[in-house]
Structure 1
């Protein structure tokens, strides 16, 4: 697989991977392993696909995250970025921030925009095909919420790593 972060970084120099976590960011319960990626995406629907590629590529490169958890993380990234672009009140001149951190015990996903209205779920009927993003995040994440005056929506997923046999 082509490394999506490197590919994205060529097109958008704002992409970066870094270690350790920047001070002042949303605090994680565990010390970071150094597996962190942060990108800023133009607020356009076509960049939801980019966010999924960046997430999948980083998780694959870092290794150790079970495939089911990685799939859930990519789906959560897609839902949070989509919600931000479609409902966040961000115009196409503003960037949407995506940050993913693997602490060893959990994945922390953060999506930031300029809107101070918190993400929230809506009641949906059994045949509705839209407005299911928050419901999916609620079902897949261990917990989720907002911080940074509601400008950042975050989700945590337990990685359930298994001990390696000697």
Structure 2
């Protein structure tokens, strides 16, 4: 398990560490700035390393931001974990935190500008999503289909 220390003030520090969320869980501090690190790690993994389409990558980056936001805002822990997996035709993104409280999928009203849209977006953009309760917390995850198009 790799991680970014709490005292790392610059998100660029994490970027420069060359962390690979597909090799194992990356531990990040439960701070708002960690959402930026998680987005950058996801974008790099999907688009630069796995050469997946930009549209899929953009959607996954948005959903990572939502799951990380929930973990930071609601889990009440010092850190959370990020892991990205790939299998034939699918990607899976997991955010683990030590809280066993389940996320709530609230109805979204037109006036909801700032909050309440996270799981609505996950439900809309992901092909599948869920929460696995663990002995030491939970893993909130989403999966997206990867359609391959020949290049050229």
TM-score, normalized by length of structure 2? Answer: 0.80
SS at match of 1:71: helix
Does the CA-based 8 Å contact 1:37-1:58 persist in structure 2? no
Does the CA-based 8 Å contact 2:15-2:37 persist in structure 1? no
Partner of 1:100: 84
Does the CA-based 8 Å contact 1:64-1:161 persist in structure 2? no
Could you tell me which runs of 5 or more consecutive residues in structure 2 were left unpaired when the two chains were aligned: 1-11
Distance 1:87 1:147 in 2: 16
Partner of 1:8: 14
Matched, 1:118 2:102: yes
Could you tell me which runs of 5 or more consecutive residues in structure 1 were left unpaired when the two chains were aligned: 1-5, 19-34
How is 1:47-86 mapped onto 2 (pairs within 5 angstroms)? 47-86=34-73
Distance 1:9 1:124, change over 3 A: closer
Aligned residues: 139
TM-score, normalized by length of structure 1? Answer: 0.74
Matched, 1:142 2:127: yes
Aligned-residue Cα RMSD (Å) equals 2.4
